[in-house]
Amino acid sequence: MLTGFIKARFKRPLHFIPALKLVWQSSPNWTLARIGLVIIQGILPLFSIYMTKLIVDQVTISLALSNRAAALNDIVPLLVVAACLTISTTLFASLSDLVTIAHAQRVTDYMQGIIHSKSISADLEYYENAQYYDALQRAQQEAPYRPPRILDRLALAGQSSISLLAMLGLLLALHWGIVGILFVAAIPTVLVRMKFAGVMYHWKRRRTQLERQAMYLGWLQTSDLFAKEIRLFNLGEHFRQRYAQLRELIYKEKVGIVSKRSFAFFGAQVIAGLFVFAIFIYMVQQTLAGVLKLGDLVLYYQALQKGQNSLRGLLRSLSGLYEDNLFLANLYEFLDIESKVLEPERPQPFPETLATGVVFNNVSFQYATTKRKAIHNVSLKLQPGQVIALVGENGSGKTTLIKLLCRLYDPTEGSITIDGIDLKSFSKLELKSHISVIFQDYAKYHFTARDNIQLGNIERPADDRRIRSAAQLSGADRVIQSLPQGYDTVLGKMFDQGEELSIGQWQKIALARAFLRDSQVIVLDEPTSAMDPKAEYEVFQQFRELIQDQSAILISHRLSTVKMADYIYVMSQGHMIEEGNHHTLMNLNGVYASMFETQAQNYR
């Protein structure tokens, strides 16, 4: 009945039905407890007002008797029952409060987990799209409280329906027209709620990007990433004013909508109040005419009030569900995002040992947010045990090639194979477990030094020996040994007793993560840019000795390091323009030779 009403009236998909399934999945026991309390709390008011009628009637009779002491004995049992009903009502209200809070917390945490899972599984492409961030923002706003609110409203609708049916049964005994008047009186309020629910929904969607801009400005003012520059360039007040201007615009628009809604509500409530007052006048007239007893007047008046409240609660729940249904579209807009990098139906096993290596065959790639190709017909090979280097100016497509190799994207044209098998034929998880990558924008985890390195291979149990070995290879061990708690020291200043590291020291931690991973292909994308040339040279000397049968791809602007590679590919604007070893490229006297000579002059 409930879903049919909304579907027939608004012709919209019923998003709250799958949301209720999520509510059930989050905590079946709390959901059952909630339903039981709804039924009990819906029935209790009927018993309470009926006991009030019996007490009033008995008091009226007692006043006409001479032996009032005997009459009091007849009233006492009724008072005891009424007291028990009051205590029961209070008890179940307290239980309801407990169950509601506990259940809501469970649902909120469960929904946040779903948002996090979807965010993790979404293709990297979405993180380079402003519309994705709009969808994520709206989903994050709705996910924590919309499903619990739906349950609250359904609970209120159920409880109100039970109470309403009981009250209507009483009021029908007085006059059938009262029921019709109650429903007519409630219609204006429902229409106002539904109209402004739609207005608020469309306004919030329209202003999502403005909200995100304000949040970004707030983040700029509070994040340690920008603290130094904001103070050096005196940007704090500038950002604060821009933030205040955006929030003021949002405030004025929102208050304008709410003000119109409040005046409309006032008019609707006045109309409803006049209808109800007319019914009460009719009841008083019937009592004065002797048709109703005094107890009947109390009974019917209470039934009228509770019936009106129950009807108001039911219709408020219906209109609220319409509002929730609108806003849940935001949540499912995000949850319905589909991956373009698909898992193979029948994954091929990854080779235990590389035989022929990695081959890029005429690979082209274009990001979805631009018409310009990032990669144009690139072909290269990485043989087992070989170290190749990718060289080129910023934006030439080097990092994009690595993203394609890790299958964070699929090529627009061409193919990438490992031992002759297309990357698309491997399980994404297995493929990534055999490739170890450290990007230039490596992550800084505010965990212990041990945890920071262990994150490089969480599939294996923590092993202090392997962690220390990886740290020694990257040069991080000396840094960690100098910290107050050694490997148990929390890195960064976000938490108590945390120790901040320099950029170069953070890079060594990130390198240790890459060395810890037991993979057949290692990719280092500008991983030592913050190190001095001597430290970088030592790292790569150790690296060459370490990899043995592993294959490696090195991206670096320091050509003194790059020349140690077995083979070098030079890129420019997404094209592969030169290739060969260091001596071949120097003899070619092309772009690579020019870059090398330019850098070499700085050291002469």
Tens-digit pLDDT profile for residues 173-200: 777 777 777 778 778 887 888 888 888 8
Q: In what order do the strands lie in the sheet with 575-580?
A: 435-438, 521-525, 551-555, 387-392, 567-572, 575-580
The CA distance from 488 to 189, in Å, is 61
pLDDT of residue 314: 76
pLDDT of 6 higher than 50 = no
**DSSP structural state of residue 571:** E
pLDDT of residue 23: 78
Residue 76 and residue 194 in contact, taking contact as beta carbons nearer than 8 Å = no
* Average pLDDT, integer, range 484-512: 88
- Tell me the CATH number of domain 443-518, given options 3.30.9.10, 3.30.428.10, 3.40.50.720, 3.40.50.300: 3.40.50.300
* Average pLDDT, integer, range 209-220: 86
* pLDDT-above-90 percentage for the chain: 18
The CA distance from 426 to 359, in Å, is 15
pLDDT of 510 higher than 80 = yes
CA-derived radius of gyration, the chain: 36
| HSE, side-chain direction, 13 A CA sphere, residue 428 | 16
Among 68-82, 112-126, 390-404, the least confident range? 68-82
pLDDT band at 7 (very low <50, low <70, confident <90, very high): very low
**CATH class for the domain made up of 359-434+520-526+533-576:** alpha beta
Q: How many CB atoms lie within 10 A of CB 262?
A: 12
pLDDT band at 293 (very low <50, low <70, confident <90, very high): confident
- Give me the architecture of the 2-335 domain, per CATH: Up-down Bundle (1.20)
Question: Longest Cα pair distance anywhere in the chain, in angstroms?
Answer: 128
Q: Which residue has the tokens 């005196």?
A: 234
Give start-end residues of each CATH 1.20.1560.10 domain in the chain: 2-335
Among 317-331, 368-382, 477-491, the least confident range? 317-331
Tens-digit pLDDT profile for residues 302-352: 777 777 777 777 777 777 777 777 667 777 777 777 788 888 888 999 988
pTM over 0.95: no
Reading the block at residue 305, the tokens are: 């009030």
Residue 363, SS3? strand
pLDDT of residue 3: 42
pLDDT band at 63 (very low <50, low <70, confident <90, very high): low
pLDDT of residue 77: 83
pLDDT of residue 542: 64
The DSSP H or E segment spanning 577 is: strand 575-580
Residue 418, SS3? strand
Give start-end residues of each CATH 3.40.50.300 domain in the chain: 359-434+520-526+533-576, 443-518
pLDDT of residue 14: 59
pLDDT of residue 1: 34
pLDDT of 559 higher than 90 = no
pLDDT band at 414 (very low <50, low <70, confident <90, very high): very high
Residue 381 and residue 102 in contact, taking contact as beta carbons nearer than 8 Å = no
* pLDDT-above-70 percentage for the chain: 90
End-to-end Cα separation, the chain, in angstroms: 85
The CA distance from 161 to 458, in Å, is 53
Tens-digit pLDDT profile for residues 225-242: 777 778 777 888 888 899
Reading the block at residue 70, the tokens are: 């005997």
pLDDT of 140 higher than 80 = no
Residue 581 and residue 595 in contact, taking contact as beta carbons nearer than 8 Å = no
pLDDT of 10 higher than 50 = no
Mean per-residue pLDDT over the chain, rounded: 81
- Report the phi/psi class of residue 377: left, alpha or beta, with left for phi > 0 and alpha for psi in -120 to 50: left
Q: Using H for helix, E for strand and C for coil, what is the string for 267-285?
A: HHHHHHHHHHHHHHHHHHH
Among 55-59, 202-206, 238-242, 424-428, the least confident range? 55-59
The CA distance from 492 to 452, in Å, is 11
The alpha carbon of 345 is separated from its chain's Cα centroid by a whole number of angstroms, namely 29
**Percent helix, strand, coil in the chain (nearest 5)?**
65, 10, 25
Reading the block at residue 36, the tokens are: 């039981």
The CA distance from 280 to 298, in Å, is 11
pLDDT of 69 higher than 70 = no
